[in-house]
Amino acid sequence: MEKQQWAEEAWQRTSSKIKQMSEAIGAGFPHASQNGKYDRTAASAWTSGFWPGLLWLAYREEQDESLRQLAEVCEAAQDEALDEFTKLHHDVGFMWCLSSVASYKITKNEQSKQRALKAASILAGRFNPQGSFIRAWNSYVWRNEEHNEGWAIIDCMMNISLLFWASEETGDARYRHIAMRHADTVLKEFIRADGSVYHIVCFNAETGERESALGGQGYSPDSAWARGVAWAIYGMAICYSYTKEERYLRASQKTAHYFMANLPEDHIPYWDFRLPAYEGAPRDASAAAIAASGMLLLSELLPADQGGMYERCALRLVKAIDRQCACYDSGNEAIVLHATGSFPTGKNIDVPLIYGDYFYAEALTRLLGNSGSRQMFW
Ligand code: GLY
Half-sphere exposure of 376 (CA within 13 A, CB side): 29
Q: How far apart are the first and last CA of the chain?
A: 30
- Written as one letter, the residue type at 59 is Y
| Selection from 340, 350, 195, 348 nearest residue 259 by Cα | 195
Active-site residue identified among 64, 91, 222, 266: 91
The residue whose CA is least distant from atom 2 of ligand 1 is 155
Spatial strand order in the sheet of 151-153: 151-153, 200-203, 210-214
State residue 373's pLDDT score: 47
| Separation between Cα atoms, residue 227 and residue 57, nearest integer Å | 22
Predicted local confidence at residue 145, as pLDDT: 74
Q: Is 221 helix (H, G, I), strand (E, B) or coil?
A: coil
Q: How many whole angstroms from 136 Cα to the centroid of ligand 1? A: 11
Q: How far apart are the C-alpha atoms of 349 and 297, rounded to whole Å?
A: 28
284 touches ligand 1 (CB under 6 Å): no
The number of angstroms, rounded, from the C-alpha of 304 to the middle of its chain's C-alpha atoms is 25
Please indicate whether residue 17, judged by its CB atom, sits closer than 6 Å to ligand 1: no
Q: Is the CB of 217 under 6 A from ligand 1?
A: yes
**91 tagged catalytic:** yes
227 C-beta closer than 6 A to ligand 1:
yes
pLDDT in tens, the chain (378 residues): 799 999 999 999 999 999 999 999 999 999 999 999 999 999 999 999 999 999 999 999 999 999 999 999 999 999 999 999 999 999 999 999 999 999 999 999 999 999 999 999 999 999 999 999 999 999 876 677 778 999 999 999 999 999 999 999 999 999 999 999 999 999 999 999 999 999 999 999 999 999 999 999 999 999 999 999 999 999 999 999 999 999 999 999 999 999 999 999 999 999 999 999 999 999 999 999 999 999 999 999 999 999 999 999 999 999 999 999 999 999 999 999 999 999 999 999 999 999 999 999 999 999 997 655 456 899
Other Cβ atoms less than 10 A from the Cβ of 220: the count is 17
**Domains, the chain:** 3-367 (1.50.10.10)
The Cα 203–Cα 188 span in angstroms is: 13
Q: Which is the closest atom of ligand 1 to the Cα of 231?
A: 4
User: Which atom of ligand 1 approaches the CA of 227 most closely?
Assistant: 4
Task: Say which DSSP state 146 is in.
Answer: S
Q: How remote is the C-alpha of 46 from its chain's centroid?
A: 10
Q: Is the dihedral of CA 220, 226, 229, 234 positive or negative?
A: negative
Please report the pLDDT score of residue 372 as a whole number: 56
Q: From the CB of 155, is ligand 1 less than 6 Å away?
A: yes
Q: How far does the centroid of ligand 1 lie from the alpha carbon of residue 155, in Å?
A: 6
- The predicted structure's pLDDT at residue 374: 53
Q: Does the beta carbon of 355 lie inside 6 Å of ligand 1?
A: no
pLDDT at position 198 is 98
Task: Report how far ligand 1's centroid is from the alpha carbon of 78 (Å).
Answer: 19
- What torsion do the CA atoms of 218, 275, 321, 102 make, to the nearest 10 degrees? 10
Nearest ligand 1 atom to the CA of 46 is: 1
Q: 16 CB contacts (<8 Å, ≥6 apart)?
A: 328
Which atom of ligand 1 has the smallest separation from the CA of 155? 1
Residue closest to 38 by CA, chosen among 52, 24, 50, 20: 24
Q: Compute the distance from residue 341 Cα to the ligand 1 centre, in Å.
A: 7
